[in-house]
């Protein structure tokens, strides 16, 4: 595995290096955001995973995640931050990070998270959504072409969806009006090995809604205390 670690604290770098070497993983290190984005841009096909400190000099972790996602939707990104930086963690997820680890964390947990994320991403590449959805999904406002990773909403193509947003939309739209719990969406999109909490779903749904509602109606409905559903009738009433 090839990892890009973008981290400012030398003590953490040394600890992670020891575990990376134990696992026989290859890694590159950048100590600020600008250098990290430059390294990724020059070697984007090299890295299997990027670890990003949310608090970086010169360019913070949120902007680093945004930069990487503008280049690639596929590279897994794991964000590192103290819990007091919750807003930046949420912003990182909104920009396309695949998960996070709150400091202080165990290096053993870090290794387990990396392995789990890497396995899950490989499964998603083989089958992007953990459902047997191959046919075109077509409703009044929406067309989804799963094989092409293409979405047309309100007669306009939406090109900015991340893989997770695309998966969530595909699952919801494949069963209109059916309510999916946050737990169920986590299982279907992230897999059983996901270690995060339900707010990850809320963050991705919020961003997905914003992208859809730039061109069309409000169709992803919150069912309070339960989860989410895709419902065009809600808009028409």
d(CA 1, CA 60): 25
Mean pLDDT in consecutive groups of 10 residues from the start of the chain, 237 residues: 93 91 93 94 89 90 91 85 81 84 81 81 54 72 87 92 87 91 84 62 90 93 92 64
The answer to the question of residue 142 being in a domain is yes
Kindly report the pTM of this predicted structure: 0.61
- Count how many domains the chain has: 2
Please state whether beta strands 142-145 and 137-138 pair in parallel, antiparallel, or not at all (unpaired): antiparallel
Bridge partners of 228, per DSSP, are 180, 222
d(CA 7, CA 61): 9
pLDDT score at 130: 46
pLDDT score at 191: 66
Are residues 115 and 17 part of one domain? yes
The sign of the CA dihedral 56, 80, 167, 198 is negative
**What CATH number should be reported for the domain holding residue 160?**
1.10.10.10
Are residues 107 and 150 part of one domain? no
pLDDT score at 107: 81
pLDDT score at 234: 63
pLDDT score at 90: 83
pLDDT score at 141: 92
pLDDT score at 133: 53
Helical ranges in the chain per DSSP H: 10-23, 33-42, 61-71, 86-94, 107-126, 163-174, 182-185, 199-213, 233-236
d(CA 3, CA 116): 14
The answer to the question of residue 59 being in a domain is yes
Residue ranges making up the domain that contains 9: 2-126
Are residues 146 and 207 part of one domain? yes
Are residues 162 and 122 part of one domain? no
Domain end call among 99, 126, 153 = 126
């Amino acid at each position: 595995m090839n990892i890009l670690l973008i981290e400012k604290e030398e003590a953490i770098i040394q600890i992670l290096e020891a575990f990376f070497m134990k696992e026989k993983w290859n890694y590159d290190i950048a100590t600020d955001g600008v250098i990290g984005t430059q390294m990724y841009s020059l070697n984007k096909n090299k890295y299997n995973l990027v670890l990003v400190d949310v608090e970086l000099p010169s360019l913070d972790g949120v902007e680093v995640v945004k930069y990487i996602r503008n280049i690639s939707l596929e590279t897994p990104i794991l964000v590192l931050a103290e819990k007091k930086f919750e807003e930046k963690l949420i912003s990182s997820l909104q920009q396309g990070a695949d998960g996070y680890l709150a400091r202080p964390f165990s290096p053993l947990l870090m290794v387990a998270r990396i392995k789990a994320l890497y396995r899950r991403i490989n499964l998603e590449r083989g089958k992007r959504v953990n459902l047997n959805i191959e046919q075109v999904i077509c409703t009044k406002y929406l067309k989804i072409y799963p094989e092409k990773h293409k979405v047309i909403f309100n007669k306009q193509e939406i090109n900015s969806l991340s893989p997770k947003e695309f998966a969530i939309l595909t699952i919801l739209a494949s069963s209109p009006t059916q309510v999916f719990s946050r737990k169920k969406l986590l299982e279907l999109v992230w897999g059983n090995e996901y270690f995060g909490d339900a707010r990850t779903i809320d963050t991705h749904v919020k961003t997905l809604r914003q992208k859809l509602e730039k061109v069309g109606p409000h169709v992803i409905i919150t069912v309070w205390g339960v989860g989410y559903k895709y419902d065009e009738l809600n808009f028409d009433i």
